[in-house]
Chains A and B, each alone.
Chain A
Amino acid sequence: MHSNGFFLSDVAGFLGGYYTFLAVMNGIAAVILWRQQQRAGWAMVWATFAGAMMILASLALSGSASMVPVLPAAVRGLVNQLSGPVLYTLGTTAFLVLLFVFRKFFVQPMVAWTVFNLSLLLLGLSMADENFAAIVMKPDNVPIVGLVYLLAFFTWVATKQAVVNDERIKQGLPVMEKVNDEKVLVWPDLVYTELICMVAVSAFLLVWAIFLPAPLEEPASSVKTPNPSKAPWYFLGLQEMLVYFDPWYAGVVLPSLVVFGLMAMPYLDFNKSGNGYYSIEERKFSYLVWQFGFFELWITLIILGTFLRGPNWNFFGPFEYWTPYKVEVLNNVDLPQMFWVQWLNQPLPRAPQDAGLLVQIGYILLREAPGLMVMGAYLVLLPPLLAITVFRGFYAKMGFIRYMVMANLMLLMLTLPLKMILRWTLNLKYIISIPEFSLNF
């Protein structure tokens, strides 16, 4: 809400250490690059950067409110104003698409190092903001910050290998995995490495647990729900899904479908290439479907749920104060309401007061007819339609059953983003809404 001196003096020590760490890290990078003969230019760049970080560190360590480096208030305000679920989703999608399209550029080590450093610098400048720090430095959320970087790193490594392999395949050379046999002996090489890692990680966790203890809350009560109430971080994607669906679908069907789909994958995949080595070009469809499901429908939702969902599960900008009184207009209506009341201008079909069960069900089906037809068309008509148009080749290669399983899994996966878009654009709550039998979709 408002930055004050107390907060800044608290965070100054941490930020000083943080910038010093950045400086040391880049100093080491500069030395390593200097020793490689051709990289002297880059070495100079990182040495300069390390110097700048040292200056920032000393400014932060001064501890005075006017000296600690922080993003300008105007920038923070603008970011808060612009951010919302729609922009967040579109932005992350655009960002991921950008990374994918220009992957040959981003896999260069120096480019990646630049992006990494700039993101760390941005994180440091943001952390001098009280509201941002309150969320990011919360003991529960620190590992998620780490997770984001870890995930980015491993994805980068894999993409780099895939890009190199794709280039080699194009030139008719064998893939890197065939050239560099990275096999080691299990005993002693692998086991010793694992042992050392185990000891190091245990020590690290021990230190972490001492210096960043897990927060304890008051005893649980069935009539008191913390606000905001958040699932464990790995379920925050699920919690975000639940905003758009009834529990039976987002909490039971979709997660089961994720597991089922992962199990079905080897049976659906007819592309033999890419076996045992990284490649994007040779299996573009599988790669894109996987990355979409993993990054767009899981990871970005976890980040959204962790950092940007505040009290009452409202969306908050990264520098916004988490007030439980934020008013957000989320008025949404069901499709039958929309269809009968708003478009046809007549009341919802409703069974007479003392009608029998069958008559009631008949009226419910009439009321839900538009939603049922939409879903029927989506799940019944679309797969064959796709089979004769977009997925013609797939259908020919996979056969009826495999194709239908794949098409339905994909369509069900896409219900999530489609429902999100419908919620944002049309304020649509449920396509089929039968609260009488707890059946909503």
Chain B
Amino acid sequence: MADKKKMSVAEILAAARADGKAAAPGEAAGQSPPEATPPKSPEPAAQAPTASPAAPKPGSAGRPSVKDILAMARAKGTAAEPAAEAPAKPKPAAKASAAKTTGTPKPVADVAGPKKNVQRDTASILAAARSGARPGPVSKAAAPALAKPAAKKAAAKPPARSVPPRPARPAAAKPAKSTATEERRSILSYAVGSFMAVGFTALSVTGGLFSLGLARYFFPNVLAEPPSRFKVGSKEGFPAGKVETKYVAQYGVWVVNSDFEGMQQIYALKTVCTHLGCTPNWLEAEQKFKCPCHGSGFYKDGINFEGPAPRPLERYAIRIADDGQLEVDKSKSFQEELGQWNDPESFVTA
């Protein structure tokens, strides 16, 4: 098996030629599966004239080689085409035909040479080529008879390589005979058609209702989110220097009373690290905000001083509401690097 695999196409062709097997056409044709379709394209037929003077090589004692046979078969009629065009099995002889179909120009060039003895065996060759193909011009009954000489020769001189038996024609290839099934199918198709209509109607109605429900889902009755504006008590609750952390869990805000650029201010810092968005922790002992993700550190006033954070923490808007309480508004934020901390909305003077 393995050493056979290693034979190149050229070697196989040479071997086939030297043996001059008459069985080859039969083999090549026999290998073609019964499903092989009738001639598909006119191209091979157009090629045929160039191949028509095909003849066996002088050296092969008058016996036509595989290529020659195939070429002649092509030239004679399109009915033989399937044999050459059929997908070949990986048997050496079949490989030769495969090489042809894949378009190696060499065999064609060989065939085109001036050769004699053209008419010697054509009938048998043709019959052999046709025998495996779909019933073309030659009737089914006539084909075996025509193929006989080829078969006889194959029997007389068995090839070196084993030839598997020709596969049985599958039942599917036979034309359907009864029309009763057609009728039944048509009755069924009416029913199925209406089922389909019902099914698709139901599907679209369900889909529509589902989409409506999904749309409703985006407008919940109760919004669990805390409001973005909230009161945190009076100024007195935030003595100087204090960082109030009790609003972190619910609102994500530190309320700080601290000195910033010489002014005692109360401001609301957003608890989002400006590096990658983790929540830093307030470390009372070290008087700094420290991020657990990459170690960024911020002073009490929110200015970044260590680690990779590129800019200070952001502030939320804060004001004194009408009732005297401090009110934080998370819908507005102020960034120091853009000079927004000078905005009077960003702090309350303590």
Contacts and interface: CB of A to CB of B under 8 A. Distances in A.
Contact of B249 (A223, A225, A243, A330): A223
Interface residues of B, number: 30
B251 to A, nearest CB: 8
A69 B189 CA distance: 83
Contacts of A433: 310
Interface in A309-333: 311-314, 324-325, 327, 329-332
Interface string A349-361: 0000100000000
A389 interface: no
A9 B202 CA distance: 68
B114 interface: no
B285 interface: yes
Interface stretch (B124-132, B148-156, B272-280): B272-280
A353 B343 CA distance: 12
Contacts of A332: 305-307
B248 A438 contact: no
Contacts of B295: 243, 312-314, 330
Interface string A215-229: 000000111111111
15 contacts: A221-B249, A223-B250, A226-B292, A227-B292, A242-B276, A242-B293, A242-B294, A312-B290, A313-B291, A313-B292, A313-B307, A324-B283, A329-B306, A332-B306, A435-B310
Contacts of A353: 339
- Which 10 pairs across A and B sit closest by C-beta, in order of nearness? A313-B295, A435-B311, A227-B292, A330-B306, A435-B337, A225-B278, A225-B279, A440-B310, A223-B252, A312-B290
Interface in A222-238: 222-229
A223 B271 contact: yes
B281 interface: yes
B339 A229 contact: no
Interface stretch (A87-95, A128-136, A146-154, A244-252): A244-252
Given A243-B307, A243-B308, A436-B337, A225 B252 contact: no
B338 interface: yes
Contacts, number: 84
B305 to A, nearest CB: 6
A429 B295 CA distance: 13
B56 interface: no
A313 B252 CA distance: 22
Nearest to A427: B306
Contacts of A429: 308
Interface centre among A243, A313, A314, A331 (most CB of B within 10 A): A313
Nearest to A327: B286
Contacts of A20: none
A243 B297 CA distance: 12
A440 B308 CA distance: 10
A247 B248 CA distance: 25
B281 A324 contact: yes
Nearest to A221: B249
What secondary structure prevails in chain B residues at the interface with A?
loop
A239 B310 contact: no
Nearest to A251: B276
Contact of A227 (B248, B252, B281, B297): B281
B248 to A, nearest CB: 6
Contacts of B291: 225, 312-313
Contacts of A327: 286
Contacts of B248: 223
Given A246-B310, A247-B275, A224 B292 contact: no
A430 interface: yes
Contacts of B337: 435-436
A244 B278 CA distance: 16
B290 to A, nearest CB: 5
B279 A325 contact: no
A327 B290 CA distance: 10
A223 B297 contact: no
A117 B339 CA distance: 61
B281 A246 contact: no
Given A223-B252, A436-B338, A331 B306 contact: yes
Nearest to B295: A313
A225 B307 contact: no
Nearest to B251: A223
Interface in B288-322: 290-295, 297, 305-308, 310-311
Contacts of A314: 295
Interface in A270-304: none
A315 B342 CA distance: 37
Interface string B321-340: 00000000000000001110
A324 B250 CA distance: 23
A11 to B, nearest CB: 28
Contact of A224 (B249, B283, B285): B249
Contacts of B297: 330
Nearest to B312: A435
Contacts of A229: 278, 292-293
B293 A313 contact: yes
B293 A239 contact: yes
A312 B292 contact: yes
Contacts of B285: 325
A386 B297 CA distance: 39
A27 to B, nearest CB: 46
B71 to A, nearest CB: 40
A251 B311 CA distance: 17
A247 B275 CA distance: 7
Nearest to B248: A223
Interface centre among A223, A311, A353, A430 (most CB of B within 10 A): A223
A329 B306 CA distance: 8
A226 B310 CA distance: 22
A194 B125 CA distance: 52
Given A325-B283, A331-B305, A225 B293 contact: yes
